[in-house]
């Protein structure tokens, strides 16, 4: 048996499980996002700002995926929202089975918004459906403007692009127009937000988009 065949089987099994999760989310009228990016783009920082804005408006829960440590879950826990840390012990992506197991610790009927923060990696999280409504890819200005061209699958499979750390634009080698153009060339349907988790720029627009997607 070739490695390619094994990988295909793994992905088929994952798709099956993700479809079950999607049903479960639908039953509970949950809006679910899967945030993907390379390490250090600011996923958790954006999430912290988002929780600050949305607290009191909607009930949400967070699943944190990391290769090691519960540092990110601890950051989220400070906001008194339900959070489950998945430690993959070297695994470079979350899969539907890991998410399913994490859901044992979350009461889905209590929440309307579930955030899954994936492991920092622009490659294989693109191929693993977690039953989410949307994949959100975060790219920071410090990563340059060529990443959509180098990691196209992630941008093809995502619905939203958040360009983070826009406050650093004067200091980094990143042309934001070029970055937008590259991303939209790969996926013309991408909706783009520009944010800074440091200054709070763009966070209001992003949170409005979330609120507009909460299921009634
Ligand atoms: Mg993080
Ligand atoms: Zn992986």
Each residue of 14-61: pLDDT tens digit? 999 999 999 999 999 999 999 999 999 999 999 999 999 999 999 999
Which band of pLDDT confidence, cut at 50, 70 and 90, is reported for residue 1? low
Neighbours of ion ligand 1 (CB under 5 A): 43-44, 72
Higher pLDDT, 216 or 205: 205
Q: From 145, 196, 151, 149, select the one nearest 174 (Cα to Cα).
A: 145
Q: Which ligand is nearest to the CA of 123?
A: 2
Which band of pLDDT confidence, cut at 50, 70 and 90, is reported for residue 126? very high
pLDDT digits (tens, 9 = 90+) for 82-124: 999 999 999 999 999 999 999 999 999 999 999 999 999 999 9
Q: Output the CA 63–ligand 1 centroid distance in Å.
A: 11
Beta strands (DSSP E) in the chain are 31-36, 60-66, 83-87, 113-117, 134-140, 160-164, 191-194
- Under 8 Å between Cβ of 17 and 100: yes
Q: Output the CA 145–ligand 2 centroid distance in Å.
A: 23
- CATH number listed for the domain at residues 2-214: 3.40.50.300
Look at residue 7 in the predicted model and tell me its pLDDT.
Answer: 81
Look at residue 69 in the predicted model and tell me its pLDDT.
Answer: 96
Q: Output the CA 93–ligand 2 centroid distance in Å.
A: 4
For the chain, the domains span 2-214
C-alpha–C-alpha distance, residues 160 and 135, integer Å: 7
Look at residue 6 in the predicted model and tell me its pLDDT.
Answer: 80
What is the average pLDDT across 59-82?
97
- What pTM value is reported for the model? 0.96
Look at residue 3 in the predicted model and tell me its pLDDT.
Answer: 64
Look at residue 203 in the predicted model and tell me its pLDDT.
Answer: 98
First to last CA, the chain: 48
Q: Output the CA 64–ligand 1 centroid distance in Å.
A: 7
Q: Output the CA 45–ligand 1 centroid distance in Å.
A: 8
pLDDT digits (tens, 9 = 90+) for 172-212: 999 999 999 999 999 999 999 999 999 999 999 999 999 99
Q: Is the pLDDT of residue 4 over 90?
A: no
Q: Output the CA 42–ligand 1 centroid distance in Å.
A: 7
Q: Which ligand is nearest to the CA of 127?
A: 2
Q: Output the CA 125–ligand 2 centroid distance in Å.
A: 6
Q: Which ligand is nearest to the CA of 90?
A: 2
Q: Output the CA 94–ligand 2 centroid distance in Å.
A: 7
Q: Output the CA 215–ligand 2 centroid distance in Å.
A: 31
Q: Helix H segments across the chain? A: 3-27, 43-54, 71-77, 96-103, 147-150, 152-156, 176-186, 203-213
Look at residue 164 in the predicted model and tell me its pLDDT.
Answer: 98
Q: Output the CA 36–ligand 1 centroid distance in Å.
A: 10
List residues bridging with 162 in a β-sheet.
138, 193
pLDDT digits (tens, 9 = 90+) for 142-157: 999 999 999 999 999 9
Look at residue 2 in the predicted model and tell me its pLDDT.
Answer: 59
Q: Output the CA 4–ligand 1 centroid distance in Å.
A: 30
Q: Which ligand is nearest to the CA of 122?
A: 2
> Residue 34: which region, alpha, beta or left (left: phi > 0; alpha: psi -120 to 50)?
beta
Q: Which ligand is nearest to the CA of 42?
A: 1
What is the average pLDDT across 121-138?
97
């Amino acid at each position: 048996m070739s490695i390619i065949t094994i990988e295909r089987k793994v992905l088929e099994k994952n798709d099956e499980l993700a479809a079950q999760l999607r049903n479960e989310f639908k039953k509970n009228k949950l809006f679910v996002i899967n945030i993907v990016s390379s390490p250090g783009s600011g996923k958790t920082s954006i999430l912290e700002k988002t929780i600050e804005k949305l607290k009191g408006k909607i009930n949400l829960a967070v699943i944190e995926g990391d290769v090691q440590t519960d540092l990110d879950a601890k950051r989220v826990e400070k906001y008194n929202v339900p959070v489950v840390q998945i430690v993959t012990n070297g695994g470079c992506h979350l899969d539907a089975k890991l998410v399913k197991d994490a859901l044992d610790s979350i009461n889905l009927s209590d929440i309307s918004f579930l955030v899954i923060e994936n492991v920092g990696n622009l490659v294989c999280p693109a191929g693993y459906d977690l039953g989410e409504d949307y994949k959100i890819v975060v790219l920071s200005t410090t990563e340059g403007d060529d990443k959509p061209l180098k990691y196209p699958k992630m941008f093809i499979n995502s619905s939203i692009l958040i360009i983070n750390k826009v406050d650093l634009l004067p200091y980094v080698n990143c042309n934001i127009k070029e970055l937008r153009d590259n991303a939209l060339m790969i996926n013309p349907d991408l909706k783009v937000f520009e944010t800074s988790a440091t200054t709070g720029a763009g966070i209001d627009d992003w949170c409005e988009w979330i609120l507009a997607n909460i299921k009634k």
